[in-house]
Every structure is written in structure tokens, then in C-alpha cells.
Amino acid sequence: MPVATPAQYAAMLDAAQAGDYAYPAINVTSLVTINAALQAFAEKKSDGIIQVSTGGGQFASGLGVKDAVLGAVVLAEATHVLAERYDVLVGLHTDHCQPGKVDGFLKPLVEETAKRRAAGKGNLFQSHMLDASELPLDENIALSVELLKLCAEQEIILEVEAGVVGGEEDGVDNADVPDDKLYTSPEDMVAVYEALNGLGRYMFAATFGNVHGHYKPGAVKLRPDILKKGQEAVIAKYGEKAKFDLVFHGGSGTPAHELQETLEYGVVKMNIDTDTQYAFTRPVVDHVMKNYDGVLKIDGEIGNKKAYDPRSYLKAAEAGVTARLGQACDELHSTGKSICGKV
């Protein structure tokens, strides 16, 4: 099955909202991580979301090029080709584009989709994220309005954010953000709805104490009730149709019971990156430590080609990511709920 069409992607989100489950959204940087994601979704009979950050795109374009747009296009095109071999739907998404990167990353990728559509092909990406949380809310909303209109012209869903996700990811460091910025207020959520309603479809990354990275138990103070109160506020004013499709950023390391609570409040997408990075690296380190004398040429020896062949440890890395992403499907209750072939 190819990458989801805009209509299929919308149906995926609708199904998750109606069924109180969410899709894992995994950041990819290579063919290995793309294949791991597709295999995980297929094994779990779950649809899912594959996403590319600016840093991931830059990495994928090569150390000699470092072009985030080029790398994002390469990863997306590869996913389109590889996804044909699987019987689940996947959406392609870009992650965390700050205002200063909009003209150099988000807008060029929207134009890439426009070119494909003009040639009779499907969308390159089904959704993009604008992370304008660094701006005052009124400026954030103004930029969100502009980009939502632009995306809607190409049947692209825009993800927006109000409030700040703590921690550090992909070079963006919010480790010292004041605590009050980590929680989106009900008033802010209503303001977002009032500004964006009717302009196009969007997802909303409201923040409730979530952070990027991995922390020891008790270090992160999640307040899923923030999502509940925000949803209640907008529904009380505008009715059930106003309910947000919410996004949970920084899902790595979150206990299963806290994940479950967010699903009850309208989360349909959860980003997972830190945990899958570790799932990739852990078996690689295991391989090196168990095959130290073969991976390296020590004391004049010749090593073991089978041990230092990158495929030997990248296969293990791929399997590690597949297993961890499969766990995420189970915890988010998307397992067994693919709508592939039904829409």
C-alpha cells in the first residue's frame, strides 16, 4: 500500500480520535530507520506516522551537502517506494520547524508537494509542523494562520504548538524554560481554535509538562488534566465539533498509564524519538563489545570482516527499533486497527 493519500490520512486521524487511540510518530534519518518503522507497523497491523526533522533531513543529505530540504525529500521519496511493499498506511510528517526555518524548510517542502500534485502524483508529505512556541501567542497564531492557509491549498495538515516542550531535541534547547511555559492554558487553546477554525485541518501540540529526552521516574511532572481542561473549554464554547486532534511531544519514557490518560483527552499522535534512538544504538554497542577483537584490528591482527561489516550491526539496530516501535503501538492501542483497504 502506498503512503496515505490526504483523504486516507484524515481518515486515520478520525479513526484514532473516535477510537481513543494514537499513532506513534517516529523520527527517521536513514533507510535503516524507515525500514524499521514500516516493519513495526506491519507486524502490529497498525497505521503510523514517519517524520523528518530539520536535523534529520540535513543528516540524510550527507556531510558534504547538509541540505535539510534535500535530505527530507530523499527520505520521503524512499518511504513512498518502500511503503508499497506493506499492507498498512503511513503518513509522512515533518517535525519542529521554528519560525526562522519556515522559509528555508517548511515552505520549500510544501512547494515540492505542489510540484508533485501538478504532475499528477500524490503529496510528498501529508503534514508539517510549525513550532512557533518561541513567539508570543499572537505572533505564533498569526504565523500559524498564514501557513495553515498555504498547507490547505495542497491538502496538507499543519501541526501547531502553543506552550513549550521542555528538554533538548535536534539542537533546540528548552531546558531552562520557566515552568509556566510548559503548560498550555485553556484560554490559549480556545484562542488557537478561534483563529484556525475553518482555514484547513490542523493538529495541535498543546503542552502539559512534557519534555524531550529521557528522565528518571518522577523528574517529569506531566499534567494530562491540562489537555482535559482545554478540550472542555473549547467544546463548552463551540460544541463537540471543536474537539482538537492533539499531539503528545516527548513521549519517550512516559509510563503506560499516563499515555492512556492522554488518549482519553484527544491525543491522536505521539512523537517517539529518544527511545527509538536508544533502541537503535543499544544493539550496536552490544555487537561492538562482544566482537571487540573482530570489529577492530588490534595488535597487528586483521580483525573479522563479518564483524565490522556495517550490515552486521545495522540489522540488529533495525530490529531494535522495530521492537521498540511495536511496543509503542501496543501502548497507544493502535495495534490491530489499521484502516488500510477500508478507505
For 256-291, how does the pLDDT look when each residue is reduced to its tens digit (9 = 90+)?
A: 888 899 999 999 999 999 999 999 999 999 999 999
Q: Which domain holds residue 103?
A: 6-331
Count the neighbouring beta carbons within 10 Å of the beta carbon of residue 145. Answer: 16
Between residues 249 and 239, which one has the greater pLDDT? 239
Q: What is the pLDDT of residue 336?
A: 98
Check pLDDT > 80 for residue 9: yes
| Nearest of 133, 129, 121, 123 to residue 148 by alpha carbon | 129
227-244 pLDDT tens trace? 999 999 999 999 999 999
163-202: pLDDT as tens digits:
755 444 455 444 444 455 668 999 999 999 999 999 999 9
Provide the pLDDT confidence category of residue 161 given band limits of 50, 70 and 90: very high
Which CATH number goes with the domain that contains 208?
A: 3.20.20.70
Burial 204-220 (b: 16+ CB within 10 A, else e): bbbbbbbbbbbeeeeeb
Average pLDDT, the chain: 92
Residue 339 in domain: no
> Domain for residue 343, yes or no?
no
Cα distances (angstroms) measured from residue 78 to each of 37, 73, 84: 13, 8, 10
Q: At 88, is the pLDDT very low, low, confident or very high (cuts 50, 70, 90)?
A: very high
In a domain, 35, yes or no: yes
Asked whether residue 342 is domain-assigned, the answer is no
Asked if 204 and 246 touch (Cβ cutoff 8 Å), the reply is yes
Instruction: Using alpha carbons only, give the angle 97, 99, 102 rounded to the nearest 5 degrees.
Output: 65
Question: pLDDT (tens digit, 9 = 90+) per residue, 49-82?
Answer: 999 999 999 999 999 999 999 999 999 999 999 9
For residue 211, report the phi and psi dihedrals to the nearest 5 degrees: -135, 155
Which grid cell is 265? 483527552
Return d(Cα 303, Cα 39) in angstroms, integer: 32
Specify if 176 maps to a domain: yes
The answer on pLDDT for 333 being more than 90 is yes
pLDDT for residue 211 = 67
- 95 has catalytic annotation: yes
Looking up cell 512556541 gives 133
> What is the spatial distance between Cα 64 and Cα 87, in angstroms, rounded to a whole number?
36
Asked if the structure places residue 22 within a domain, the reply is yes
Question: Whole-prediction pTM value?
Answer: 0.92
Residue 130's nearest CA partner among 100, 153, 160 is: 160
User: How many distinct structural domains can be found in the chain?
Assistant: 1
Classify residue 193: in a domain, yes or no: yes
Spot the catalytic one: 47, 95, 273, 275: 95
Per the domain annotation, does 1 fall within a domain?
A: no
